[in-house]
């Protein structure tokens, strides 16, 4: 990936899906793509295929926000809560004519119920990721190559499940 300080680096983007009821990591993926946006729908599909059931709710941070993702979740009948900006609430104006799904999501997240559901992300998905970083001390991969890194990420996430 191209970085602002070091030029190109061999970097990976690790993804997890966390089961809200049990706080277990139920799906993992590693890519060499810098952004999260292209990962949301494939992770939703993989999770649904693995468990052979429709997801009811998807909560995701601003990295996954795109008009296409919000529209696709709606089309699949999934109640999505995707942050449209940083938690500081400073979101530039969203043109409802050019980005109608994003404007509706912004309005939804500003409701009392929408805000409460989105806040659950902090203890649902951030807790397992924080445990991996803080307790395990896992901050970088020790192997190279996408296939090997994906295997290492699976093992790291598995340790969260059995702790």
Confidence of residue 117 (pLDDT cuts 50, 70, 90): very high
| 156 domain-assigned | no
Q: Tell me: pLDDT of 133 over 70.
A: yes
Q: How far is the C-alpha of 60 from the C-alpha of 145, rounded, in Å?
A: 27
User: What percentage of the chain has pLDDT greater than the value 90?
Assistant: 70
Domain region containing 69 = 2-138
| 81 domain-assigned | yes
Q: Tell me: pLDDT of 28 over 70.
A: yes
Q: How far is the C-alpha of 6 from the C-alpha of 137, rounded, in Å?
A: 24
Q: How far is the C-alpha of 11 from the C-alpha of 163, rounded, in Å?
A: 27
Name which of 47, 40, 44 is nearest 83 in CA terms. 40
Q: How far is the C-alpha of 142 from the C-alpha of 152, rounded, in Å?
A: 8
What is the reported pLDDT for 85?
82
| 154 domain-assigned | no
Q: How far is the C-alpha of 137 from the C-alpha of 67, rounded, in Å?
A: 35
The count of domains in the chain is: 1
Determine the average pLDDT of the residues in 95-104. 94
Determine the average pLDDT of the residues in 7-16. 80
In tens, the pLDDT along 42-90 reads 999 999 999 999 999 999 999 999 999 999 999 999 999 999 986 545 5
Tokens linked to 99: 């980005």
| 160 domain-assigned | no
**163 vs 113, more confident:** 113
What is the reported pLDDT for 20?
85
What is the reported pLDDT for 126?
84
H or E element in which residue 58 lies: strand 57-60
What is the reported pLDDT for 95?
87
Q: How far is the C-alpha of 154 from the C-alpha of 69, rounded, in Å?
A: 25
What is the reported pLDDT for 148?
97
| 157 domain-assigned | no
The pTM of this model reads 0.86
| 45 domain-assigned | yes
Determine phi and psi for 30, rounding to 5 degrees: -130, 135
| 117 domain-assigned | yes
120-135 per-residue burial string, b: 16 or more CB within 10 A, e: under 16: ebeeebeebbeebeee
Tokens linked to 68: 């296409």
DSSP 139: -
| 143 domain-assigned | no
What is the reported pLDDT for 7?
61
Q: How far is the C-alpha of 83 from the C-alpha of 80, rounded, in Å?
A: 10
For the chain, give the mean pLDDT.
Answer: 89
């Amino acid at each position: 990936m191209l970085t602002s300080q070091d030029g190109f680096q061999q970097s990976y983007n690790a993804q997890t899906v966390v089961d809200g009821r049990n706080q277990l990591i139920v799906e993992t993926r590693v890519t060499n793509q810098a952004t999260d946006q292209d990962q949301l729908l494939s992770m939703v599909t993989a999770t649904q295929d693995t468990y052979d059931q429709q997801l009811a709710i998807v909560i995701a941070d601003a990295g996954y926000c795109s008009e296409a993702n919000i529209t696709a979740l709606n089309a699949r009948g999934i109640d999505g809560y995707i942050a449209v900006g940083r938690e500081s609430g400073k979101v530039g104006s969203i043109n409802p004519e050019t980005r109608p799904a994003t404007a509706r999501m912004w309005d939804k997240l500003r409701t009392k119920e929408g805000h409460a559901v989105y806040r659950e992300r902090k203890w649902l998905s951030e807790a397992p990721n924080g445990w991996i970083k803080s307790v395990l001390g896992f901050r970088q991969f020790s192997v190279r190559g996408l296939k090997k890194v994906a295997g290492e990420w699976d093992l790291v996430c598995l340790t969260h499940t059995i702790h």
